[in-house]
Structure 1
């Protein structure tokens, strides 16, 4: 239907002088805490070109690589892994304070002579994340019972105070060193958001209960598997990245299999490719380049 747009001035469309109504519904999104920025780099190694080098040339490349990578490893925030299978040969993980520092780590590696023998095959960018479902639901209920309007100034102030308090308490989990275990399992994942099954339309209190049950399974593997979750919404192709570290790779299988039976995984989870690696310290990197897996 046609018709003129109502106006209240000569300059343009009608603009109401009454404030827009504010929803009194409980917000759908949980509070999250963010820590280190994370970059996974996966490479295929050009073995044929490497093996064609003379011994002196190889030693020069190794020395140059060690001078760059050793200081990075010594911080506990960069680690190398020998990859198992066809998806690549070498994986580097970097934890840093910002994307700027991650890019600096990339550029340092790219500036080595070793980089001429590395072919990038994959990468993943994310930020270590802790989702506070339980704390969020409790706080939202408390604020609404007091009559605080969601997203009001008072509401946002309470949220920020909670974030600051929790970040201080959770600092070791938000900004950890890379675990010094032999085996790594990394994979990206999503929560389904299709027409029939959509995790993001489930009420927050139901999601909180699902995530609580999911977390109980993970806690049973404490001491066997160390898990680091990183959020990647807006940063990469999936919503989260999951790093599992441990001394026995079979524990990865057992943990992930058991979690598949949780409602939040069985109904709402989608998984990307899985990458398995074995830790290679810089002290043993020359052995790896010689075709031998060094002991940890």
Structure 2
């Protein structure tokens, strides 16, 4: 199958799944390993709460390879209960960044070392009419939007070293305009950064948020065991090598 790619950066697929009675651990691990080849990475997350059991964040140049992961997981007995499609990008307000700062945004190497607390949520900029008591981000002059985003970024830089944020674009390919993936050493690091940045005008007045998924990042064998699919009982790959891109 010929590759389908983005012209710049990588495709990104978040899948949130629940176990079923038919879930086959060996097939799940094989699916992850097949997807995490070449320049592709697959991260696995044990999701906290009722929304899902396990999350997968897959990224890389070939969109067919990401789609094959989804197919293989479903055939392995995983029920996909939510998903998000996006792509890596650099902000329009950061066009003058040097290449060494753009490259990690377009081609991130994940996961960050030591940061096992995970959170994902989608967001958009508000388009409300003034009569509805809010504003329309897209009617603001570019210079105003850039200034507001600079303020927003300044708040985020307070968490350098505590948080790695991966912002991916999804305008035209999913329900919101961006996907935000956060990695932290501690769970309250995730809470603190979102709480702090929500007070910036760019967020407080103009941001709308989707569903939050929070979990614990680990290698796929550990995640499957901890969520109730023990490898020695369900045919896991004993003695297997770590998946590329997994901690």
Shorter-chain TM-score above 0.5: yes
Aligned position for 1:176: 108
Q: Where do residues 127-276 of structure 1 align in structure 2 (5 Å cutoff)? A: 127-133=87-93, 135=95, 170-180=102-112, 181-196=115-130, 197-276=135-214
Q: Relative contact order (C-alpha < 8 Å, sep 6+): which is higher?
A: 2
- Count of residue pairs the alignment pairs up: 218
Q: C-alpha deviations, 1:138-190, integer Å up to 9, x for none?
A: xxxxxxxxxxxxxxxxxxxxxxxxxxx95675222211122243111100111
CA contact (8 A) 2:27 2:73 kept: no
Q: Which residue of 1 is the match for residue 242 of structure 2?
A: none
Counterpart CA distance in 2 for 1:38 and 1:167 is 21
Aligned to 2:14: 40
Q: Deviations over 1:54-83 (max 9, x none)?
A: xxxx8xx33333333235457671011111
| Unmatched 5+ stretches in structure 2 | 1-6, 231-246
- Tell me the SS of whatever aligns to 2:10: strand
SS of equivalent to 2:68: helix
Given that 1:81 and 1:91 are in contact with CA atoms closer than 8 Å, whether structure 2 keeps it comes out as: yes
Gaps of 5+ in 1: 1-32, 51-57, 137-164
Larger Rg: 1
Match of 1:284 among 218, 222, 226: 222
CA distance in 2 between counterparts of 1:276 and 1:89 reads 11
- How far residue 103 of structure 1 moved from its aligned partner, in angstroms, is 1.3
Displacement after TM superposition at 1:260 (Å):
1.1
For 2:173 and 2:99, the matched residues in 1 are separated by: 22
Q: Does 1:69 align with 2:32?
A: yes
Counterpart position of 2:60: 96
Contact 1:133 1:208 in 2 (8 A): yes
Q: Provide the residue aligned with 1:126 in structure 2.
A: 86
| Consecutive aligned runs of 4 or more in structure 1 exceeding 3 Å deviation | 70-76, 165-169, 289-292
> Who is 2:46 aligned against?
82
RMSD: 2.5
More helix by share: 1
